[in-house]
Amino acid sequence: MIKSYLRDREENHSKFLDELVNRDGTITPQWEKLAQYYERVGPQKLETSHEEVSRQLRENGVTYNIYGDPDGMNRPWNLDPVPMVFGSEDWSVIERGLEQRAELLNYILKDIYGGRKLIKEGLIPFELIYNHKGFLRQMDKVHFEGEQQLIQYSADLARGPNGKMWVLHDRTDAPSGAGYTFENRAAMTRVFPDVLRENEVRKITSYYQTLKNSMVHLSSRSRDNPRIVLLSPGPTNETYFEHAYISSFMGFTLAIGEDLTVSDGHVWLKTIKGLEKVDVIIRRVDDVYCDPLEFMNESHLGVVGLMEAVRQKNVLVINPLGVRILENPGLMAFLPKICRHVFNEELILNSVATWWCGHEREKQYVIDHFDDLIIRSIYRNGVNKSVYGGNLSSEEKSQLIAKINSNPYLYVGQERVDFSTTPAWVDNKFVARNAVFRSYIVADVENNKYAVMPGGLSRSSPEQGVFMVSNQTGGISKDTWVLGKGNEVINRDQPAIMKPQAQLSSILPSRTGEHLFWLGRYMERSAYTVRLMRMTLLTYNEADEDIHVTEDPVLSTLLKSLSHLTGTLPGFTDKKVLKNPEKELMSLTLDVSRLGTLAHSIQSFISNGFAVRDRLSLDTWRILDSVSEELNQMRISDATLTDVYHGLDQMVIKMMAFYGLNIDNMTRESTWHLLNIGRFIESATNTCLVLKSMLCKSFDAETNKSLLEDTLRCNESLVTYRYRYRSNLELSAVLTLLLVNESNPRSLIYQVLKIDEHLQNMSAQEFGQSRELGTERKKLLAAITQIRLCEVDMLCMLDVKTHKHYLLEAFLDDIIKVLGETSIIVNENYFNHTNNRYSMIQSVSLPEI
């Protein structure tokens, strides 16, 4: 394979420097062992390993969303099984260069929002700073304690034709990718453990530990056991997987803007208990979106008043707001001179050649060499995209040059670097692809220095000769290997964190609690619908073709019950629909856009699971992923009712597997209680709905017997009934088992008792045992008493005129009403913070005037 790779490069007269091949055609030292390994295992083995790597990432739920792509949401992460490799000597230069660059940018950041000496001394043009949208005047003279203001930093690097690494971009605002880097390494370690050991690949875990230690160290300056929150744009963000992953991995609370509020100059987290003070926010939201009151007022991602809390130093935001000024590509042209001025040393890692158009000579150079340069706006966003001048039409070129002449200080021209290629595994063979490496640097606050991850996230271009490599444009990720043991000294007697932290309680955001509540409800709703749907399809397939559906009371009752359970009325209560049920059955099963259908319920179940993925175990997430795959398989264009029936068999197993895993994995805290409160409210409601639609009307003896059996089967109680009663099916016995038998987990009384038990336990954990009986528990107590005192024989009374068990119907309606009211009260008590019923903010008495 390697020989073929070398031969292809020679035949194509490749002009690019290659990571694997020296200029004389020999293999570079860092690639020698890997090249021998690939030659030894062959293409078939490597492709098998590639499939295993993809499977690992897919099962772990590693996704990357691509805006505007129909297949973009929860798109699987793509990892090349061939890594990017750096030798130890090469890396030592890169590492020192990154440390130096981080220190330099940190100095510039403090100066820009401090004394601005660099501007006064002419080292940075003032137009370059004051005209940049990343310069937030509200942050002037605002800084937190300590020399290091820049905490997290990333740089995109590529190897130029001269063999040296060049910095293409500086990422300081909310640098992403560290979570994907960890997952890449985890997958590669599982598939290629011997190869990593043989090549002495350095571990990357030290970066994450330093990050966590620095967060704890910074936050401990304000108070013991601080609250640290990771602020995410939310589940629709392209890298939401990473936000959930990092927060779970680090033990930080994942939050979105609506989870936070500002009051009395402090930031508060809305938890199910009330409001909890926040000390540190690690933001993954761009700075201008963080406070709509002071920055971008149309933003729905931030927190109103956050800037004021920062200004009063009541919350620490990392990276600080306003740090995006350092991403200004125009700064690259001035960094070498600043470095010499500040540190009295040369810049180790040079930036790609940059000409800022704010100077007349540089502007003219850009215009004269327009076709050979990449033109960038000094402020990067979704509108101001980089363009290669040579790809523009004459009209487009004229328009852009006119813009440059009009506002020259807003543009830069950068050299188009023919950066190096590296081996990539594409279509079962080695090919050369241009690659970009993203590094990760974090402030080691305790030791006042910067620590560089010995690795990072590399990306190779999807096609040959493509230079603008990004995940959004289809770039393929690569694990990055730094060879050699390194010189870091690990003191195994030193605790990972500086001092032990007391356990924090009530750290469940109310929005997360609401998603858990509805996750439980949609899980039970989906499972119940699947069971009734399977039973209905089985009866439909076995029905006598000579008897029409409307003349078959068992089948018509099942179909109508399906409409009542899903809430898709009129549905089968309409005789026209009942006469030709197949279309409606397919819609009830597979139409995601229709409220109440099985597909809609399953999709809502998955969406709520995705929103709280930081609270779910890896195995639980795998079950969610398999449920999603099963739904997609059922929704193929030529699916039949038979296909749907077989798919439902697998679906109900996976639903129960999800619940079973959570029994084993979830701690008995608020997450567990809210999930089960939702589950049992839904289960009890569905039990009432099915009993009402299946048993409240009486037919002939044979039909009643069939409906009783179907009702038991739908509630997973048929076997229990047979062992307990050993007699013919009777309405009173069925109602006794499904309504008042407290040992039957599918009975109504059991489910209502469970709701009360979980509410009681959660109330005790969150508010203490002394809290009085809440309104929701009072309602449940009334329902429990009503169920326990009910006379089953009375419920079986039949109105001879209407052929209905009218007392049973009224009884079930009462319980359904109570369950609905309980759900509303739970929402008001734990998820709604329009009032401060349980707020930790104390009211202040105003002085009399």
Q: What is the pLDDT of residue 75?
A: 65
Of 485 and 238, more confident: 238
Domain end marker among 666, 682, 716: 666
User: What's the pLDDT tens digit per position in 514-557?
Assistant: 999 999 999 999 999 999 999 999 888 887 666 667 788 999 99
Structure-token match 């700075």, residue found: 287
Of 106 and 71, more confident: 106
Q: Which of 454, 430, 421 is nearest to 81 (CA)?
A: 430
Asked whether residue 459 is domain-assigned, the answer is yes
Q: What is the 3-state secondary structure (H, E, C) of 302-341?
A: CCCCHHHHHHCCCCEEECCCCHHHHHCHHHHHCHHHHHHH
112 contacts 172 by C-beta, under 8 angstroms: no
Model confidence at 768, pLDDT cuts 50, 70, 90, reads low
Asked whether residue 384 is domain-assigned, the answer is no
Q: In percent, how much of the chain has pLDDT > 70?
A: 90
User: Which range (65-69, 387-391, 841-845) has the least confidence?
Assistant: 841-845
Range of the domain at 478: 54-352+417-482
Q: Is the pLDDT of residue 50 over 80?
A: yes
Domain count, the chain: 3
- Do residue 660 and residue 687 come from a single domain? no
Asked whether residue 397 is domain-assigned, the answer is no
Helices (H), 268-416: 306-311, 335-343, 360-368, 394-406
104 contacts 355 by C-beta, under 8 angstroms: no
- Do residue 749 and residue 652 come from a single domain? no
Q: How far apart are CA 252 and CA 244, in angstroms?
A: 10
Q: How far apart are CA 658 and CA 662, in angstroms?
A: 6
Asked whether residue 35 is domain-assigned, the answer is no
Q: What is the mean pLDDT of residues 152-180?
A: 92
> Does an H or E element contain 7, and which?
helix 2-11
Q: Is the pLDDT of residue 838 over 50?
A: no
Q: What is the mean pLDDT of residues 436-455?
A: 94
Q: What is the mean pLDDT of residues 249-271?
A: 91
Q: What is the mean pLDDT of residues 698-702?
A: 93
User: What's the pLDDT tens digit per position in 495-512?
Assistant: 344 444 444 554 788 999
- Give Cβ neighbours of residue 276 (< 8 Å, ≥ 6 apart): 227, 268, 269, 506, 507, 840
Q: Is the pLDDT of residue 827 over 80?
A: yes
% helix / strand / coil in the chain, to the nearest 5? 50, 15, 35
Asked whether residue 218 is domain-assigned, the answer is yes
Q: How far apart are CA 269 and CA 227, in angstroms?
A: 9
- Do residue 80 and residue 162 come from a single domain? yes
User: Which range (69-73, 696-700, 764-768, 837-841) has the least confidence?
Assistant: 837-841
Distances (CA, A) of 270 to 262, 513, 614: 10, 10, 17
Q: What is the mean pLDDT of residues 3-13?
A: 69
331 contacts 378 by C-beta, under 8 angstroms: no
- Do residue 818 and residue 695 come from a single domain? yes
- Do residue 687 and residue 641 come from a single domain? no
User: Which range (213-222, 233-242, 387-396) has the least confidence?
Assistant: 213-222
Model confidence at 833, pLDDT cuts 50, 70, 90, reads low
- Do residue 675 and residue 708 come from a single domain? yes
Helices (H), 715-805: 718-725, 731-735, 748-767, 775-789, 792-795
Structure-token match 């038991």, residue found: 712
Q: Is the pLDDT of residue 762 over 50?
A: yes
Of 668 and 288, more confident: 288
3-state secondary structure of 834: coil
Asked whether residue 239 is domain-assigned, the answer is yes
Q: What is the mean pLDDT of residues 341-364?
A: 94
- Do residue 627 and residue 685 come from a single domain? no
DSSP-assigned letter for residue 417: -
379 contacts 328 by C-beta, under 8 angstroms: yes
User: Which range (319-328, 487-496, 546-555, 613-622) has the least confidence?
Assistant: 487-496
Q: What would you measure as the largest C-alpha separation in the chain, in angstroms?
A: 101
Output b/e per residue, 605-637; b: 16+ Cβ within 10 A: bbbbbbbbbbbbeeebbbbbbbbbebbeebeee
- Give Cβ neighbours of residue 849 (< 8 Å, ≥ 6 apart): none
Domain end marker among 623, 638, 666: 666
- Predicted TM-score of the model (pTM): 0.84
Q: Is the pLDDT of residue 839 over 50?
A: no
* Long-range contacts formed by 201-204: CB under 8 A, 24+ apart: 201/481, 201/482, 201/483, 202/454, 202/455, 202/481, 202/482, 202/483, 202/484, 202/485, 202/486, 203/454, 204/453, 204/454, 204/455
User: Which range (91-95, 484-488, 777-781, 813-817) has the least confidence?
Assistant: 484-488
Q: Is the pLDDT of residue 1 over 60?
A: yes
- Do residue 536 and residue 681 come from a single domain? no
- Do residue 720 and residue 737 come from a single domain? yes
- Do residue 544 and residue 688 come from a single domain? no
Model confidence at 222, pLDDT cuts 50, 70, 90, reads low
Asked whether residue 577 is domain-assigned, the answer is yes
Q: What is the pLDDT of residue 472?
A: 52
Q: What is the mean pLDDT of residues 185-213?
A: 93
Angle of CA points 198, 201, 204, to nearest 5°: 150
Q: Which of 148, 166, 146, 144 is nearest to 157 (CA)?
A: 166
Asked whether residue 826 is domain-assigned, the answer is yes
- Do residue 316 and residue 332 come from a single domain? yes
Domain end marker among 633, 666, 699: 666
Of 67 and 490, more confident: 67
Q: What is the pLDDT of residue 382?
A: 64
Q: What is the pLDDT of residue 771?
A: 55
Q: What is the pLDDT of residue 494?
A: 38
Q: What is the pLDDT of residue 765?
A: 74
DSSP string, 632-658: HHHT-TT--HHHHHHHHHHHHHHHHHH
Residues in the chain, overall count: 849
Output b/e per residue, 62-98; b: 16+ Cβ within 10 A: bbbbeeeeeeebbeebbbbbbbbbbebebbeebbebb
Q: What is the pLDDT of residue 316?
A: 93
Q: What is the pLDDT of residue 65?
A: 58
Distances (CA, A) of 728 to 365, 373, 534, 703, 709: 95, 86, 24, 13, 10
- Do residue 239 and residue 338 come from a single domain? yes
Phi then psi for 321, rounded to 5 degrees?
-60, 145
> Does an H or E element contain 41, and which?
helix 32-59
Mean model confidence pLDDT for the chain: 87
- Give Cβ neighbours of residue 153 (< 8 Å, ≥ 6 apart): 101, 102, 105, 170, 171, 172, 175, 440, 441, 442, 450
731 contacts 701 by C-beta, under 8 angstroms: no
Model confidence at 72, pLDDT cuts 50, 70, 90, reads very low
